[in-house]
Amino acid sequence: MKENKKILIVILVALSLAAWTSASAQAIDGAKLLMEVDRNLNPDSYESYKKLINIEPDGSKKEFVLFTIKKGKDKVAALFISPASEKGRSTLRLGENMWLYLPNVGKPIRITSLQSVVGGVFNNSDILRVDYSEEYNVESVEDTGDEYILYLKAKAKTASYDKLTMWADKARKLPKKIKCLTEKDMLIKTIYFKDVKDFGGGIIRPAVIETDSPLYQGFRSVMIFAGIKTRQFEDEVFSLTFMSELDSLRARGAD
């Protein structure tokens, strides 16, 4: 009888150690998991076309079409194609720094991540999204069975959101929902990732991103990806001097 008790104790200790080791391994793999989410959401270097729609409480809408390019973890540029009043404008993000180029001004001007070049609920950080792993550390990860919940903390005070809570599909390792929070856990906005689509070239990701905010009751913003494909770029196209030339990349890409 005593021997059976000893065996039972050994088994229970072994199971406890296995559970602790598994939990520790999962916490250590949080950074790797977030990088996987980044790569599944966007190729390392790509071009895309997307429509931004701002919807007001009365149902009225304002739409923008953007041609966007990205390279690596922290280089993003976008060109306004429509409406006509915005055509030729471009934006550039290099890490934490952002600029807006206005054709009638003829030179880039500084903008901040919390501003929005299109108005609406999406800010510049959302529109010119760099890799999440570039801006945030993973504090912890929960495995709920069908999905992971990642608790992220901004690496720097310049990030738009101090904290993010990300729900990611476990099988696809793609985000499903993100809650954007202040340091004191006040909700700023919620971002929803919908309509997972095969864009070809091995790119399978949400085609629709929506957001709403308790700070802007009744307002919504939607981002619809019409196309996205892998494409390589020289570093020089992500520069202040090239902002006025972004349209030339669309012509080259069509060749």
Chain segment 152-189, per-residue pLDDT in tens: 999 998 899 999 999 999 999 999 999 999 999 999 99
In a domain, 14, yes or no: no
Q: What is the pTM (predicted TM-score) of this model?
A: 0.85
Q: What is the pLDDT of residue 215?
A: 93
In a domain, 13, yes or no: no
In a domain, 1, yes or no: no
Give the tens place of pLDDT for each residue, 18-71: 444 444 444 448 999 999 999 999 999 999 999 999 999 999 999 999 999 999
- Total number of residues shown for the chain: 255
More confident residue, 255 or 72: 72
In a domain, 244, yes or no: yes
In a domain, 3, yes or no: no
**Total domain count, the chain:** 1
* CA pseudo-torsion sign 110, 128, 181, 189: positive
In a domain, 159, yes or no: yes
Percent above pLDDT 90 for the chain: 83
| Residue 244 DSSP symbol | G
Q: What is the pLDDT of residue 29?
A: 83
Give the tens place of pLDDT for each residue, 124-162: 999 999 999 999 999 999 999 999 999 999 999 889 999
Read off the pLDDT of each residue in 214-236 and give the average, rounded to a whole number.
95
CATH number of the structural domain spanning residue 237:
2.50.20.10
In a domain, 9, yes or no: no
Task: Grade residue 2 by pLDDT with cuts at 50, 70 and 90.
Answer: low
Q: What is the pLDDT of residue 12?
A: 45
Q: Helix 30-41 crosses helix 2-28 at what angle (to 10 degrees)?
A: 40
Q: Give the range of the structural domain holding residue 65, as residue numbers without chain letter.
A: 40-254
Give the tens place of pLDDT for each residue, 64-113: 999 999 999 999 999 999 999 999 999 999 999 999 999 999 899 999 99
Buried b (16+ CB within 10 A) or exposed e, 89-122: bbbbbbebebbbbeeeeeebeebebeebbbebbb
In a domain, 102, yes or no: yes
